[in-house]
Amino acid sequence: MNSTFRLIEGLAILGGFFGFVGSIMAFIIAYDEYRRHFRDKSKPFWMAFEIAVLAFLVLVAISVIVGFVLSNTFASQVPP
Protein backbone atom coordinates (compact mmCIF):
# COMPACT_ATOMS: atom_id res chain seq x y z
CA MET A 1 0.00 0.00 0.00
CA ASN A 2 2.88 2.34 0.76
CA SER A 3 4.37 1.82 -2.71
CA THR A 4 1.01 2.81 -4.20
CA PHE A 5 1.15 6.22 -2.55
CA ARG A 6 4.79 6.63 -3.53
CA LEU A 7 3.88 5.97 -7.17
CA ILE A 8 1.04 8.50 -7.10
CA GLU A 9 3.21 11.02 -5.26
CA GLY A 10 6.09 10.54 -7.70
CA LEU A 11 3.87 10.99 -10.72
CA ALA A 12 2.27 14.07 -9.15
CA ILE A 13 5.72 15.60 -8.62
CA LEU A 14 6.72 14.70 -12.16
CA GLY A 15 3.44 16.14 -13.42
CA GLY A 16 4.09 19.31 -11.45
CA PHE A 17 7.48 19.73 -13.07
CA PHE A 18 6.24 19.10 -16.59
CA GLY A 19 3.11 21.12 -15.84
CA PHE A 20 5.29 24.08 -14.89
CA VAL A 21 7.39 23.76 -18.05
CA GLY A 22 4.27 23.26 -20.18
CA SER A 23 2.55 26.26 -18.64
CA ILE A 24 5.54 28.48 -19.42
CA MET A 25 5.51 27.26 -23.01
CA ALA A 26 1.73 27.75 -23.25
CA PHE A 27 2.10 31.29 -21.89
CA ILE A 28 4.80 32.19 -24.39
CA ILE A 29 2.85 30.81 -27.34
CA ALA A 30 -0.49 32.31 -26.26
CA TYR A 31 1.01 35.72 -25.46
CA ASP A 32 2.78 35.85 -28.80
CA GLU A 33 -0.46 35.12 -30.63
CA TYR A 34 -2.73 37.32 -28.49
CA ARG A 35 -0.50 40.41 -28.63
CA ARG A 36 -0.97 40.52 -32.40
CA HIS A 37 -4.72 40.99 -31.97
CA PHE A 38 -4.84 43.62 -29.20
CA ARG A 39 -3.29 47.07 -28.98
CA ASP A 40 -3.40 47.11 -25.19
CA LYS A 41 -0.61 44.91 -23.81
CA SER A 42 -2.26 44.03 -20.49
CA LYS A 43 -5.21 42.10 -21.94
CA PRO A 44 -3.07 39.60 -23.89
CA PHE A 45 -0.88 39.12 -20.82
CA TRP A 46 -3.79 38.12 -18.59
CA MET A 47 -5.41 35.98 -21.27
CA ALA A 48 -2.11 34.13 -21.79
CA PHE A 49 -1.72 33.79 -18.01
CA GLU A 50 -5.14 32.12 -17.81
CA ILE A 51 -4.10 29.68 -20.54
CA ALA A 52 -0.87 28.93 -18.65
CA VAL A 53 -2.74 28.20 -15.40
CA LEU A 54 -5.18 25.97 -17.24
CA ALA A 55 -2.32 24.08 -18.93
CA PHE A 56 -0.65 23.55 -15.56
CA LEU A 57 -3.83 22.24 -13.94
CA VAL A 58 -4.59 19.91 -16.84
CA LEU A 59 -1.11 18.40 -16.88
CA VAL A 60 -1.03 17.87 -13.11
CA ALA A 61 -4.52 16.36 -13.16
CA ILE A 62 -3.56 13.97 -15.97
CA SER A 63 -0.46 12.84 -14.07
CA VAL A 64 -2.46 12.18 -10.89
CA ILE A 65 -5.10 10.24 -12.84
CA VAL A 66 -2.38 8.17 -14.52
CA GLY A 67 -0.88 7.57 -11.06
CA PHE A 68 -4.19 6.21 -9.76
CA VAL A 69 -4.68 4.01 -12.81
CA LEU A 70 -1.15 2.60 -12.68
CA SER A 71 -1.28 2.04 -8.93
CA ASN A 72 -4.56 0.15 -9.25
CA THR A 73 -3.17 -1.87 -12.16
CA PHE A 74 0.00 -2.80 -10.26
CA ALA A 75 -1.93 -3.49 -7.05
CA SER A 76 -4.22 -5.93 -8.83
CA GLN A 77 -1.24 -7.88 -10.20
CA VAL A 78 0.42 -8.46 -6.82
CA PRO A 79 -0.22 -12.02 -5.61
CA PRO A 80 -1.87 -12.34 -2.18
For the whole model, what pTM was predicted? 0.80
Question: What is d(CA 77, CA 80) in angstroms, rounded to the nearest whole number?
Answer: 9
Question: What is d(CA 47, CA 32) in angstroms, rounded to the nearest whole number?
Answer: 11
From the list 70, 77, 75, the residue with the least C-alpha distance to 14 is: 70
The pLDDT tens digits of the residues spanning 43-72 come to 999 999 999 999 999 999 998 888 888 877
Mean pLDDT of 7-11: 80
Mean pLDDT of 11-16: 86
What per-residue confidence (pLDDT) applies to 1? 55
